[in-house]
Structure 1
Amino acid sequence: MAKQNDRPTLATVAARAGVSIKTASRVLNGEKHVAASTAEKVEDAAAELGFRLNPTARRLRAGGRSPYIGVVLSSADDPYQVRVLSALEAELSTVDLRPVVTVTADDPDREEAFLDECLANDLSGIIVVRSQPDTAHIYTRAASTSGVRVVSFDPAVSGDGISIVTGDDVDAGYRAARQLLDHGHIALGVVGDHSTSIITTRRLEGIQSAFAGRHDVGWRAYMREDAHDEASAKNVVAAWLGSRSAPSALITLSATLTQGAIDACRRLDDWPALVGIDDFPTAELLDVTVVDRDVETMAAEAVRRLQDDARERPGRLGGGADQGQDVFPVRVIPRGSGEESPELRRRNLPRNS
């Protein structure tokens, strides 16, 4: 009899039933041409021992693929990354795949170690939601040497064998700025994060394009690219609002920074117009205007890419680093904060009572 803490194996089931391991395997894998009495003995033995076939091992032995997909996040506090993970999990479940998730906490060593574990365990693919800039190259090497499928929401993770699913960050910046310009604002504070990242660079490019030819717009004096979390964004905005020449409107380049800006406005009871890039769970409750991506559609495309053997598909952008890249449109969701006039700001009236 197996010890209480021993894990029953196919061999112990076969021994209990008095049959060969091969016969026990045939019974438990549902194969035909086994005598009913023999099948009953094996099934009874398996039930008594609490034996369960490992579906993953069975699938791999049959030449199938692992049901696990590695998913890389840089932060569990970023509302956008959490939204993407939730959408990915739902999409993966529809094709019998499951995510194995790491949160790198901006640690490149942790990210590289996770990738090594994914490759060692023969995972079916890797989805990068956000990577460290210094670590992006490791995925190109993994895709080229191991053949693992890599899909990235982060445009910094690019190269041969990598599919990119991303939002139109240039248009996101443009739309955020246009929303405020169209409502009369010419003094705008821009709160950014990690100026070296492709995402931030593209969003700033879009903002600048909206200001093209407008010499009356002041924003460079208010440009900050060193706000990396809610606390730092709150400090930046609080300093602006406490000055005599405060901007009448704010553009925040991520949902995390938007939440920090709102915290500063709430504490000072001072509400400039605000447009944030990327939606977050409480934005509708707080009447925050955002420019958002269709996360659910992007997640569905990412999962399709994992299952797609072809490296070229209709609709992909061709050429250079953009090969295998899909850029999804963004949209403005007006909720009130981005539609206020500068006059309201000058009167220093709170938006929410």
Structure 2
Amino acid sequence: MAIHPGDILAGYRVTRLLGRGGMGEVWAARSDTTGRDVAIKVLLARAAVKPDLVQRFQREAKIASAIQSPYVCSLLDVGLTPDGAHLLVFEKLDGESLADRLKREQYLPFAEVFPIIEDVLCGLCAAHAADVIHRDLKPGNIFIERTASPERPERAKILDFGISKLKRGDGEQNEPTLTAFDATLGSFAYMAPEQVRGAARADERADIYAVGAVAFRSLSGRLPFEGTTAALLVAMKLERQAPSLAEATGDRWPAGIERFLERALERKRENRFATAREALDGWRTLAPGGRVIQPPPPVRAPEPSSLHVAPPDPPTVADDADAAVSQDDQPTWVDHPPTETVDTPLIGQALDLSSEPGRGRRTGR
């Protein structure tokens, strides 16, 4: 069934299309009774005929409902369209993705990057406490929400747990491959080396690597590794330590920032921060301007969910370099014009990273 403005989905009246990707569409909608704005993610018919993709959609609902954090986009409801298509109802956020901001600004001052990374690490603390590994952190999956607080007018939230996995390893070998559908390398630049070797190898430390890569990109306007082919990027990630900010930019940086990124981007995961909490504590020692650091809300155990989601088979991942990458760079429930975008081409094609935002450096820092 085609969806149109004015249709009622899960008790909300559809207003307009926000985005479209390989698996689904995302529509803005509003409650006629409460006036609440939401974003509804609907699984497309061509994806709904694939049992593994339906399972992935259901797993996203199960995982998102398990995480209780103000730094993670909230799942509000799960349901079906009138013709039986699966849908997820998320809170609708007001603001922009970090990817959009970086495309506009090329790079950001540390005072602006600091609270973004702090919030992301707070969100990861909650996700990891719920036994969830994100596996696709990148600027497109970090949303900078406008708030009503004059003291903190913005807050970063993690989006899109569509390719997350649970830390519990029982049954991992049984998950069907998602490679046939997720063939793009949309998240490749932010993947940890062990995740490049195979998605099943990713644990909490892969998320920490991704946070380090996001921070590096945000501060420098460059990616830690750049190359002309996928094979070259794989080789660099597997064989080399990430460069320092000074090497990437030609500028001097505070030693504390360099040490944090060096550890977060360690090629060997045993040398990285062991947990998101440890990384958060290390990041907070770098707080600019004598800012008072507020402790994050305590991580709550997931409450019994009222969401009616068919329990998926034990979640696992495909163990190959193509697996567990996102079809869309842009977050799918964010208020932006409909688009289908990916970060990089298909495996085997040349990667033209000269188009990466920030290639042309702004003058001044």
Greater relative CO (CA pairs within 8 A, separation 6+) = 2
Range of TM-score over shorter length: under 0.3
TM-score of the pair, normalised by structure 1: 0.26
Structure of higher CA gyration radius: 1
Q: Which has the higher helix share?
A: 1
